[in-house]
Structures are given as C-alpha cells and as structure tokens.
Amino acid sequence: MESIQAGYLTNFEAQINSVDEDSVVLDRTLFYPIGGGQNWDTGTLSWDGGELVVSEVRGRGDVQHFVGEDHGLAPGDAVSGKIDWNRRHAHMRMHTAQHLVSGIVYEMYDGARTVGNQIHSDRSRIDFNPIRFDEEMIDAIFQKANEIVETDLEVTDCIMTRDEINAIMPPDRTNMDLLPISVKQLRVVKIGDNVDLCPCAGTHVKGLGEIGEMKYLGKKNKGKGTTRVNYTLSGCES
C-alpha cells in the first residue's frame, strides 16, 4: 500500500496475468494480502456476465487472489476488482489502534515491546514482552488510548531511511533492530507529530477519530514474560 489515502480506494480495473487451479494473479491490485499481522481483504472480481468472490489473498509481488476452482479466467482477461469495504475499513481502524496501543504500552511500562500482532475485522490482539498486566494497568492503557483517539490526530505516511527513523524513535519501540540491515528505506506510518511512528506496510485510517471506541476483551499469559491483549472497536464486535 503506497499511501494512507490509497487505503480508501475499493474499485479498480485489472488484467489477469496468470492463473492457477483456484487462484489468479492480476497486473495490478488493491487487495491487501495477509502480512504484517493484518488479515487479507475479501471482495469480488467481475466482468461482462460473470463475478467471482475473492475469499483469500496471499503473497507479495505475485499476489494470489483465491476465487475457487473452475473459475474460467485466462491470462489477458479484463476484470473489475471490488474490495469489501466494511472488512477493509475494520482492518484499517484495528491496525491504527494497534500502533497507538503499542506506543502507549512502551511509554507507560518501561519499554515493553510489541512482539506480535494479529489484526482481524472483529477482534485483534497484541503480544507484549516483557510484561504482566494487572487490571489497573489495563484500565490505564485503554483509558489513555481512548483519550488520544478523541483528539482525532492525523495519521500520515512517508518513506524514511533507517537512520531518520532511529533518530526519532527508539529501535526497540519500532522493532527497527529486528529488520535486516539491508533494508535501507521504509514506509513509515505516523500518528500526529511523531506521537507514534512505525515502519508498516498495512492499511490505516487517516485520522484517529475513525477508530471509535476501543474495548478491552481480555488478556492471556503466553509464557516467558509475554502477555497477549485482545481488543475490539465499536461496531466491530462479532
């Protein structure tokens, strides 16, 4: 995804590049493939007289759109792609919420790191290490997160070098220290004026207000100092 604004586009025209038994690769796509903890987009591919549901999207570079067997599509065919906006928008809201909460936990609790995340449309989770949360800490995190959401700070993105990122945020907060040294330039997602800054390829909302109310769903001790926190957002509950 090239920009925050591009995350709001849902319709596109494309040609089939190659086909497999149950999937197709397009010459261009707006479908987000699973990656970076964020789940894939769903939607449809349609053409004169036909339509297929895209149920799963995987891979970088050659992005595979899974449309089921006997799809009948061939290289060169023109199709119109359409993203399921409700699901995409839920992912955008959930993902920006994750960045916000990860930053808050790092700041409030002695640099506790985000060591994993799963962004889904109905509920999401973040793994923190090293930390054990009590109810008071959890309340403080979600209260702070909801307060910041209400300020409706702008969310932007840009391309930055490794050194530029590390000059603004500690490498263990952005997980820059885990990236291969060969990666020199990264797409960075920024909340407000560096309230949070994180290298990320996911889709995000353009303002924090779009996140709505964040709701804590529970936590789980995953061992070795890792605690998983589950949350959802207003309107996303399954």
Interface ranges with Zn ion (CB under 5 A): 200, 202
Q: Which is nearer to Zn ion, 16 or 100 (CB)?
A: 100
- Which stretch of DSSP H or E encloses residue 12? strand 11-19
Q: Which is nearer to Zn ion, 114 or 226 (CB)?
A: 114
Q: Which is nearer to Zn ion, 10 or 118 (CB)?
A: 118
Q: Which residue is nearest to Zn ion (CB)?
A: 200
In terms of phi and psi (left: phi > 0; alpha: psi -120 to 50; beta: otherwise), the region of 123 is: beta
At residue 217, what are phi and psi to the nearest 5 degrees?
A: -110, -15
Q: Work out how close the CB of 74 gets to Zn ion at its nearest, in angstroms, rounded to a whole number.
A: 36
DSSP secondary structure code for residue 119 in this structure: B
- The residues, ordered by sequence, that sit 6+ positions from 175 with a Cβ below 8 Å of its Cβ are 113, 114, 198, 199
Q: Work out how close the CB of 99 gets to Zn ion at its nearest, in angstroms, rounded to a whole number.
A: 6
Q: Determine how many CB atoms are found less than 10 A away from the CB of residue 16.
A: 20
Q: Which is nearer to Zn ion, 71 or 91 (CB)?
A: 91
- Which strands make up the sheet holding 23-26, listed edge to edge? 50-54, 43-47, 78-83, 11-19, 23-26, 64-66, 56-58
Q: Residue 19 is which amino acid?
A: V
Q: Work out how close the CB of 111 gets to Zn ion at its nearest, in angstroms, rounded to a whole number.
A: 18
Q: Work out how close the CB of 119 gets to Zn ion at its nearest, in angstroms, rounded to a whole number.
A: 8
Q: Which is nearer to Zn ion, 165 or 200 (CB)?
A: 200
Q: Work out how close the CB of 36 gets to Zn ion at its nearest, in angstroms, rounded to a whole number.
A: 6
Decide: helix, strand or coil at residue 176: helix
